[in-house]
């Protein structure tokens, strides 16, 4: 508190009390002792004290309003400075984010190129390069970068979930060989995905004639499961990018009638807390 404010805080009640005292003394003085001169003194003192109290109140009110205006201006100035600093920090973050996106894109191109150079299982050196590139991409994306990634599994530009896939199979074929379509992976989120891996589950006994490799199933209703083997390029899916998943080719040694429906489930793991899932059905196309 400033000195002037302290003085005003003391003077205002003192002057008010003095004016009240003058009024009380004037009213309590007996008429026989109240001469005209004394009456004028009391009235003059009362008027002076009241005018002083009014002036002090006006002064105090004016000072308070002025101080409030100063505080408001200071707050607005601090707010503008904070917004300016926030904008500067946002610009720096965006600039760094662009650099990290460029690093991620370069590493993805390297992984795709490395995958195209080997048709079978990659050698140890290629695996080491791929692991290093994935680590660089993960570091560039930062912790939680894939939280805003949202990868959908599509077939013919529609959500695969709930679809029925008809496959062409010669009637006399034994065992029955079939190939599923090349499903598409679309990232509709705002961040790049993590590295991809996929698992396919089937309700009917089946073998693989593709890069999908059989593995024990962890789904109760699906006795057969496959994961995408070394031929699947280690990659990420950028925001708004669509990536093609390698087709699954399978063989069925049991009888498969045209009316029999095979239940299937595809899980895609891409670094999010939950994988993308699609439950669909497979049927033989009628000749």
Which carries the bigger pLDDT value, residue 122 or residue 159? 159
For 3-7, 128-132, 281-285, which range has the lowest pLDDT when averaged over its residues?
A: 128-132
Annotated domain spans of the chain: 3-83, 146-284
Q: Are 189 and 172 in contact (CB under 8 A)?
A: no
Which residues have C-beta within 8 Å of that of residue 165, sequence separation ≥ 6?
A: 155, 180, 181, 264, 280, 281, 282, 283
Residue 113: its pLDDT value, please?
Answer: 56
* Fold category of 146-284 in CATH: Immunoglobulin-like (2.60.40)
CA within 13 Å, CB half, 16: 10
Residue 120: its pLDDT value, please?
Answer: 47
Q: Are 12 and 53 in contact (CB under 8 A)?
A: yes
With 80 as the cut, is the pLDDT of residue 213 above it?
Answer: yes
Q: How many CB atoms lie within 10 A of CB 180?
A: 21
For 131-145, 168-182, 210-224, 255-269, which range has the lowest pLDDT when averaged over its residues?
A: 131-145
Mean pLDDT of 54-76: 78
Which carries the bigger pLDDT value, residue 50 or residue 261? 261
Residues 27-54 pLDDT 10s: 666 655 666 666 677 667 667 767 777 7
**pLDDT level of residue 224 (50, 70, 90 thresholds):** very high
Which carries the bigger pLDDT value, residue 236 or residue 159? 159
Residue 273: its pLDDT value, please?
Answer: 85
Rounded CA-CA distance 207/175 in Å is 10
**pLDDT level of residue 262 (50, 70, 90 thresholds):** very high
With 50 as the cut, is the pLDDT of residue 59 above it?
Answer: yes
- Structure tokens, 114: 């490395």
Averaged confidence pLDDT in the chain? 76
Residue 183: its pLDDT value, please?
Answer: 94
Residue 55: its pLDDT value, please?
Answer: 76
Residues 124-156 pLDDT 10s: 665 555 556 555 555 555 554 455 788 999 998
Residue 15: its pLDDT value, please?
Answer: 66
What angle (nearest 5°) sits at the alpha carbon of residue 184, between those of residues 180 and 187?
A: 155
Rounded CA-CA distance 81/85 in Å is 6
Helix (H) or strand (E) holding 166: strand 164-167
């Amino acid at each position: 508190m400033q000195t002037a404010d302290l003085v005003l805080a003391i003077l205002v009640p003192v002057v008010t009390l003095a004016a009240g005292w003058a009024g009380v003394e004037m009213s309590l003085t007996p008429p026989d002792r109240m001469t005209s001169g004394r009456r004028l003194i009391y009235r003059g003192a009362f008027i002076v004290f009241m005018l002083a109290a009014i002036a002090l109140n006006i002064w105090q009110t004016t000072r308070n309003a002025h101080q409030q205006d100063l505080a408001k201006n200071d707050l607005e100035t601090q707010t503008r400075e904070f917004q300016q600093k926030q904008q500067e920090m946002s610009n720096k973050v965006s600039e760094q984010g662009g650099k990290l996106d460029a690093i991620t894109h370069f590493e993805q191109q390297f992984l795709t190129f490395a995958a195209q150079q080997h048709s079978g299982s990659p050698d140890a050196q290629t695996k080491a390069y791929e692991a290093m590139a994935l680590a660089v991409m993960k570091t560039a994306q930062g912790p939680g970068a894939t939280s805003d990634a949202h990868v959908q599994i599509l077939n013919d530009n529609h959500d695969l979930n709930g679809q029925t896939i008809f496959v062409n199979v010669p009637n006399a074929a034994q065992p029955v060989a079939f190939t599923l379509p090349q499903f598409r992976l679309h990232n509709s989120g705002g961040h790049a995905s993590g590295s991809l891996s996929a698992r396919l589950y089937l309700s009917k006994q089946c073998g693989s004639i593709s890069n999908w490799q059989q593995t024990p199933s962890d789904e109760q209703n699906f006795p057969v499961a496959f994961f995408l083997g070394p031929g699947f390029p280690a990659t990420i899916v950028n925001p708004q990018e669509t990536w093609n998943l390698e087709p699954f080719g399978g063989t069925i040694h049991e009888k498969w009638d045209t009316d029999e429906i095979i239940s299937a489930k595809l899980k895609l793991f891409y670094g999010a807390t939950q994988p993308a899932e699609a439950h669909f059905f497979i049927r033989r196309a009628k000749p």
